[in-house]
Structure 1
Amino acid sequence: MPATRAGHHCQWLLLPALLLGIAGGAQGQSAPPTRTLLLKAVPQYVVVSGYWLEAEQSWKQHPNQSFAVTAQAYAGPAGNPNGNILIDNPFSPDQNRQVRGAGLQVHHRLYLDPAFSTDYPSGWYVSYGPQFQHFALSYDGLGWEEVEGPNGAPVYELRNGRHTETINRYGGSVQLGYQAPLPPGPVFLDLYVGFGWRESQSRGDSWKTSSRYSSGSSNYGHEGFYFPAGIKIGVALR
């Protein structure tokens, strides 16, 4: 493993221990919330046909801690995140870009203020955890396709048609956020910002060495550092 990548993994291993130490210092002053199951929608991913739904469950033994599981589904137009998608021919841009996919994110959340002003967890928090995503993308346009040559050996031809690309992406992030109630009632906003790292693997029927969808951090095939940020709309169920 290269030294730089090993350094990244060591930092991820040390981070949970540091955050747990912070949580332990505040835990003794916490008042247990009466509503411990929260359901949230993450609307900003709709622009890339992504539909995220998060369920947060408080940890009864440690009321300033919780676990958040975010289910992700993608279905519809792929859009054009982060500008132009790489194309084989500038005179024949991709058309009818579609995406199907699914993902899962699991975060451990630590509330930094032990005094809950609502009957569910609220206030400043830090969360961290892994994420995995799978995308199946398709588009109309020019692309290199492998065909059988005259002597039976495979050759590549530039053809105009329907092409596909499959992307698997995994990584993790750390986020700082604020969960703010919207009185009256159990509805609230969850605002967050953070940083993370992710790896991406792609495979397509077009003869390319890199993903067509890696032009920026919002694109489906991006890898490396990224900075998640956004808003969630939630309701405390019970």
Structure 2
Amino acid sequence: MSARLFGSALLLAGLSTGIHAQAQVPGRSRAVKFVPQHLVMSGYWLELESQRREHPLQSFTVTPQFYHGPVGHPDGVPNSLNENPSVRGFGVQGQHRFYLHAPTKTSSLAGLYVSYGPHFQYFQVGFERTGWHEVQGPDDLPYYEYGPKHFTETINRYGADVQLGYQPPLLPGPVFFDVYVGAGLRQSNSKSSFGAVQYRSGGSNYGARGLYFPAGVKVGVALR
């Protein structure tokens, strides 16, 4: 009888050790994600997500944004009079995210979520117009010449949005996807050396303002 009790004690001790070891397996509480759809606007977005240790169902994301390259026109016809348009700029977005179910030990940052937060962006859009332009002559008198002239439009944009998304549980390996849709409101201030603002029309344009509906997919790598 004592042998049976001793064996049972060993078995319980083994199970307890296994459960404790399983509880100590670290979840993937940080992630880095690339947002590819902004490439069409010459934008490079990289989202950094970090889980709150004291609140496992919550995380914070910070998304630095950089723009450099040709001007994109995903939702409209480009202005054919603007030649060689290019953009450069930067931005940042911050979000507070709430997951809607308890995380697992092996896939903490996963599941259906709601997030919200603000953003700020700065753009410099350069373009040329060919035509008659007034220039200063050597005798300090104005005269007109025909040819291309460079113009710059400076844009400051800020706003906030709410997103609903789904980050599937991790497959074997660290790579995963994050799919989201949302709605938000943004404002912009534009100043152009040309005079008339050129890059405000269309919901995806650099100076667009008012209601907007962000949506897309992110490709991420989970970190421990």
TM-score, structure 1 normalization: 0.75
Residues 46 and 63 in structure 2, CA contact (< 8 A), matched pair in contact too: yes
Residues 26 and 105 in structure 2, CA contact (< 8 A), matched pair in contact too: no
- The residue that corresponds to 1:105 in the other structure is 93
Residues 33 and 116 in structure 1, CA contact (< 8 A), matched pair in contact too: no
Counterpart CA distance in 2 for 1:226 and 1:100 is: 22
- The residue that corresponds to 1:230 in the other structure is 216
2:27 match: secondary structure: coil
- The residue that corresponds to 1:172 in the other structure is 160
- The residue that corresponds to 2:21 in the other structure is none
- The residue that corresponds to 2:187 in the other structure is 199
Q: Which runs of 5+ in 2 are unaligned?
A: 1-24
- The residue that corresponds to 1:47 in the other structure is 40
* Counterpart AA for 1:202: S
Matches within 5 A, 1:48-63: 48-63=41-56
Superposed displacement of residue 109, structure 1: 0.1
Residues 133 and 149 in structure 2, CA contact (< 8 A), matched pair in contact too: no
Residues 67 and 88 in structure 2, CA contact (< 8 A), matched pair in contact too: yes
Superposed CA offset, 1:65-112 (max 9, x none): 0000000000000122321345xxxxx611111000000000000001
Superposed displacement of residue 147, structure 1: 7.3
Pick aligned residue for 1:214 from 183, 200, 219: 200
Q: Which runs of 5+ in 1 are unaligned?
A: 1-31, 87-91
Superposed CA offset, 1:154-197 (max 9, x none): xxx99741111000000000000000145211211000000000
Superposed displacement of residue 213, structure 1: 0.9
Counterpart CA distance in 2 for 1:143 and 1:165 is: 18
Residue identity over aligned pairs, in percent, reads 53
Counterpart CA distance in 1 for 2:134 and 2:120 is: 30
Matches within 5 A, 1:106-121: 106-116=94-104, 118-121=106-109
Matches within 5 A, 1:55-204: 55-85=48-78, 93-116=81-104, 118-142=106-130, 160-204=148-192
2:120 match: secondary structure: strand
Counterpart CA distance in 1 for 2:67 and 2:156 is: 13
* Counterpart AA for 2:77: N
Residues 28 and 106 in structure 2, CA contact (< 8 A), matched pair in contact too: no
- The residue that corresponds to 2:7 in the other structure is none
